[in-house]
Structure 1
């Protein structure tokens, strides 16, 4: 953290550090594959093979996204023999997603049409 000539920490640095965990959380959920994995795990435990079959993606792709979610503390694994069954580490995550759905319903297509982050950007 930088300190300016007055001996104070600039507001931008304080704001940034205070928001870093939330930025990381939302970034971890910003990928469609990771969000689909979270939604699938909301229904219960699943192995990577189950997620591969459900999502129709390569095993390496699903494994990488599950590892990301696990590293973020959103998903946990339960070894059973040679298999690992993954589940949500914090079911409260589904409350966050439900709130997001409510917000999306309230904003209509505004988020999807956003020139920076919308689904139609660059097209």
Structure 2
């Protein structure tokens, strides 16, 4: 049996990291903490969910090493891990490189079926048309 892309350790780690932010509440926490560290009470004001649910989401983010916490008396302050955004960015594929002979497309361009057909092998082109 040949290994697939999803069997590689890098893909497994990347999927676990993306899974940690694949919830609207957790993504909202990440976005909020990207601005500055915050006390859990401040997070609850900006991510309006029950405190026990917020604690659960913070636990998931801490387990993924995306968020750090420190205790200040009765309060717990949360911060985005220093490398969190870089690690999340690294999970995504790099933009494709431009191949000689193929026209480059700008970010706003939408490829047509004819453009796809021109770039495909003959077997693939038959399936697109």
TM-score for both structures, normalised by structure 2: 0.61
Determine whether 1:81 maps to 2:103: no
> Does the CA contact (< 8 Å) of 2:18 and 2:88 recur in 1?
no
Give 3-state SS (helix, strand or coil) of 2:38's partner: coil
Shift of the 52–94 alpha-carbon distance from structure 1 to 2, 3 Å rule, reads farther
Larger radius of gyration: 2
Partner residue, 1:70: 62
- 1:111 is matched with none
Runs of 4+ in 1 over 3 A off after TM superposition: 94-97
CA distance in 2, matches of 1:58, 1:64: 10
Work out the CA distance in 1 between the residues paired with 2:69 and 2:35.
Answer: 15
SS in structure 1 at match of 2:71: strand
1:16 aligned residue: 7
Q: In the alignment, what sits opposite 1:48? A: 40
Which SS does the other structure have where 2:22 is aligned? coil
Task: Quote the Cα distance in structure 2 between the aligned partners of 1:107 and 1:68.
Answer: 35
1:36-56 deviation per Cα after TM superposition (whole angstroms, max 9, x unaligned)? 000000111112211111121
User: 5+ residue gaps in structure 2?
Assistant: 96-106, 110-129
Asked if 2 retains the 8 angstrom alpha-carbon contact of 1:37 and 1:51, the reply is yes
Q: Displacement, 1:28?
A: 0.7
